[in-house]
Amino acid sequence: PDVIIEAQFDDNDAEHGQDHLQDTLADDIKKLSLDTGENGEAKQDDGPKVNDPRLLPDKFLQRTAKVVYILEKKHSRAATGFIKLLADKNSELFRRCAMFSPVDHRVPRVYVSLADCPPDFVTRPEDYSNILFICRIVDWKEDSNFATGQLSKSLGQAGEIEPETEGILTEYGVDFSDFSPEALECLPQSLPWVISPGELAKRRDLR
């Protein structure tokens, strides 16, 4: 955006006066306004010189849009992460809320009520630095940098298979609860169960 033009003038240039100096600078600026092609030759931009964007061809326009309606919420609003005390110990918010930091960085950080946290969290926050929690986002005000949410449950130590698996399933809304008795009654009751020879004859064996 800023162009510095360096020119040299001899005594004859000075005699021509200020008008000659301005003409020389104008010529240099015109040269700089040209594009350089692949072969090093200068060429001018052949793009349309139109003041009204509505008269431009579609290939020169950047289409824009805005969201008018949310048809379906795909995210479960649940996230796994860690809780910690707020940095500003003198603020009113420090006495009411804790900060929830999701493991998934695509999810915003969340204010959670201290009432949802373990009873000894305020006095011993280091005991929960490696404990995974499930938090569900309930609101995100326009004037706040952080969402607000509620702690659902404690999963256990981070890095262990069962807490990590339960956190992933909860985040993606997968129902991993036990099957109902009605569903289990549909299964063969006499165990061990084997496929009959007649059934095997009708099937393609992919074992």
Q: Per residue in 87-136, pLDDT tens?
A: 888 888 898 999 999 999 989 999 999 999 999 999 999 999 999 999 99
pTM: 0.56
Query: How confident is residue 18, by pLDDT bands cut at 50, 70 and 90?
Result: low
What pLDDT does residue 88 have?
87
What pLDDT does residue 115 have?
92
What pLDDT does residue 131 have?
94
How many CB atoms neighbour CB 107 within 10 A? Answer: 21
Q: According to the CATH classification, is domain 78-172 in 2.100.10.30?
A: no
Would you state the structure tokens that stand for residue 51, as one six-digit string?
Answer: 């003041």
C-alpha–C-alpha distance, residues 149 and 90, integer Å? 22
Residue 77's SS3 state is coil
Average pLDDT over residues 81-90: 91
What pLDDT does residue 1 have?
47
Whether residue 139 has pLDDT greater than 50: yes
